[in-house]
Amino acid sequence: MSCLGGRARSWVYGRRRTDATCFSTYAKFKEELRQAFEPPKNEFRSRAEFLVVQSRVSTTNTRH
């Protein structure tokens, strides 16, 4: 936990202050940290972003 910074550090120490046993294992700690800070996976958004990038690549390839 000492290697964390910013919002993650505040989140961890806030959790530990309210419940000293909240992270019983390192795996549980990593999972809760991931759930708290990883953006949700959205298939529609991922597909839309892929299509935008793909169209940029195809446009770039056709210009000489």
Asked whether residue 21 is domain-assigned, the answer is yes
* Boundaries of domain holding 34: 6-62
- In-domain check, residue 47: yes
Specify if 30 maps to a domain.
Answer: yes
What's the whole-model pTM score?
A: 0.52
- Number of independent structural domains in the chain: 1
Concatenated DSSP letters for the chain? Answer: -TT--HHHHHHHHHHHHH-TTS--SHHHHHHHHHHHHSPPP-HHHHHHHHHHHHHHHHHHHH--
Q: Residue 22: its pLDDT value, please? A: 86
What does the pLDDT read at residue 27?
A: 93
Residue 46 in domain: yes
Indicate whether 1 belongs to any domain. no
Mean pLDDT to the nearest integer, 8-31: 89
Residue 16 lies in a domain: yes
The predicted-structure confidence for 33-64, as pLDDT tens digits, reads as follows: 888 888 767 666 677 777 888 777 666 555 55
What pLDDT does 35 receive?
Answer: 87
